Structure 1
Amino acid sequence: MTPRMNITPVHTCIVVGASSGFGQIIAQAYVTEFFQTRPDHALFLVLVGRQADALAVTATQCHSRVPVSPTTPGGQLAVECVSGLHLDDLDNLDPHLDRLFAVAKHAIDFFPRDSNSAVPLQLDSCTMINNAGTLGDISLKVAQYEWKAMRDFLDINLVSYTACCTRFLRHITRERYPTQRTLVNISSLLAVQTFPYWGFYATAKAARDSLTKVIAQEEDAAYTKTLNYAPGPLDTSMQKIIRETMGDAQQRELYTDMHQQGNLVPMEQSARKLAQLVLSKQFESGSHIDYFDE
């Protein structure tokens, strides 16, 4: 009887918007949680953003999170950076996405040939976490909007997001990644609860949530899972912009007090909760889960 050959499963995780801020922390936290729960597996991490130098920094930080030697069975991490991806340039979005998913298609090629050579690698599952997005103008009421500004905002925050989702569903298939594919939208409380002056941001977040829920209804839940994750009020550079430009005095005071009293959510804490949630798979496809939910 021929002995069964051991195979190291390779999981791919694509983080869109990984060059700075919360996206950068998500990538690091995902590596940490992945190897804590799957120490004998391999992870191919695809970091997506505009600036090559910033993505390289994220890649170095992610490599430092691997708890075992990459030459031992399992515990392997390969990182590929896809820079120059401008989601606001819709005329050139298709070739950018072609390049991104070509990388995901050849995931195993990015592992060192002399690493774990006795145990073959096999693609297993794929997750895409889309953190890319902008804040919009929160100094204005809807009555003050110029429609062209809203169009430009939605091109970046909704149209390009839709394109990413569509390409993910087309290119990440059961034939290549047989176990599961997971699509994560970084959402917000603003997607489900509205506040004044948040017309730009809330419109995009609510639409993204709805699209992700539609995908959950259209696809086989045994293979495709989608998640809308609201990370809480994070201590980021975006929070500084909110405190400085928010048109509503009451909200501006609220966010200022949260910052001064240390009540903003640490990015690492929220990112680790997201990673744990995704890796556990213990969520209903299409659901909206907030950092503060039990």
Structure 2
Amino acid sequence: MSSSVKSENLFQKKSCVVVCGASRGLGECISITFAKKFLTGSVFILLSRDGKALENVKTSLQSECPDQLCITKVFDQGIMQQENFECLFDGIVQSNNISLADLEQVVMVHCAGTLGDITKYCKEMTDPKKVRENFDINVVGTILLNSAFLKAFKDVGSKVIINISSLAGIQPFKSWSLYCSGKAARDMFFRTLALEDPDILVLNYAPGPCATDMQKDCREQSADPETKQMFIDALNSGGLLSPQTSIDKLCEVLTSKFESGAHIDFYDEIKQ
């Protein structure tokens, strides 16, 4: 792993910021919060399967940050067709007349993903289609999108990759085998990227238990009673974080000292 670095000027660079999974929850919060923080004149490319919700996020972003350019694109990283990824960014750059020479930095935020099937235990995972779809969306699609991003913006000097991770990537939860293994795979992929290319700043950020639609699914669908009760207790005790609280912490982490490729949780202390 590379040594600790500090990137205090990350938000002061004219950037192109890509957020995949931008239509709701943490992705929506990241898009709007980053738009407020990044240097005026930056470009925001928001990706999601839900075009209608994506346009609502764009409206909010442009209302609060009229000096930032916001581009939306309906995109499903679970569709395993090579052209789905290869032509994505070149098409966006060309159709919107984005000058790569004017950019100081590019940022990719991987926020898209699904819980997968949390209604079954490991021994009950017998449907190859469901298992494959889970890893296509959560792992394979993320890898392919990341490679397409790095290829399209290879000539931009500064690059930042943010993977929205989870405690489930380093700690198992009963009946969550697909989600946990997918998050673990993503973490290791991005740790490897950081080791291979020290010029790319990589962060695996676990946002903590946030009050999102996904949390509701955790409480209602988890097969394991202990796992289900853990999320019910978090809700009843007021232990859930607002997305804004978690993303504010992410912004603090990004201007702190951390090892590229590190897994940093909301509850971890950060080094200034």
TM-score w.r.t. structure 2 length?
0.87
Quote the Cα distance in structure 1 between the aligned partners of 2:102 and 2:224.
53
Amino acid at match of 1:86: D
Quote the Cα distance in structure 2 between the aligned partners of 1:290 and 1:30.
19
| Aligned residues: CA RMSD | 2.1
Do the aligned partners of 1:82 and 1:100 also contact (CA within 8 Å) in 2? no
Quote the Cα distance in structure 2 between the aligned partners of 1:246 and 1:65.
37
Larger relative contact order (Cα-Cα within 8 Å, sequence gap ≥ 6): 2
Partner of 1:115: none
Q: 2:7 aligned with 1:32, yes or no?
A: no
Q: 2:203 aligned with 1:227, yes or no?
A: yes
Relative distance call for 1:103 and 1:181 in structure 2 (3 A) is farther
Which SS does the other structure have where 2:105 is aligned? strand
Residue of structure 2 aligned with 1:170, choices 151, 154, 157: 151
Note the residue ranges of structure 2 that are not aligned, 5 or more in a row. 1-11
Relative distance call for 1:273 and 1:143 in structure 2 (3 A) is same
Partner of 1:254: 230
Which SS does the other structure have where 1:283 is aligned? strand
Partner of 2:88: 100
Quote the Cα distance in structure 2 between the aligned partners of 1:281 and 1:43.
22
Relative distance call for 1:191 and 1:244 in structure 2 (3 A) is same
> How many residue pairs were aligned?
256
Amino acid at match of 1:128: M
Quote the Cα distance in structure 1 between the aligned partners of 2:51 and 2:223.
35
Relative distance call for 1:45 and 1:255 in structure 2 (3 A) is same
Larger Rg: 1
Residue of structure 2 aligned with 1:187, choices 165, 173, 192: 165
Alignment of 1:33-52 (within 5 A): 33-34=37-38, 38=39, 41-52=40-51
Quote the Cα distance in structure 2 between the aligned partners of 1:282 and 1:106.
36
Runs of 4+ in 1 over 6 A off after TM superposition: none
Which string of whole-angstrom CA distances, capped at 9 and with x for unpartnered residues, describes residues 40-84 of structure 1?
x42100000122221111111112333xxx6xxxxx31000011x
Do the aligned partners of 1:33 and 1:272 also contact (CA within 8 Å) in 2? no
Do the aligned partners of 1:185 and 1:228 also contact (CA within 8 Å) in 2? yes
Quote the Cα distance in structure 1 between the aligned partners of 2:108 and 2:92.
10
Residue of structure 2 aligned with 1:267, choices 224, 233, 243: 243
Displacement of 1:33 in angstroms is 2.6
Displacement of 1:108 in angstroms is 7.7
TM-score w.r.t. structure 1 length?
0.81
Displacement of 1:135 in angstroms is 0.2
Note the residue ranges of structure 1 that are not aligned, 5 or more in a row. 1-7, 71-75, 112-120
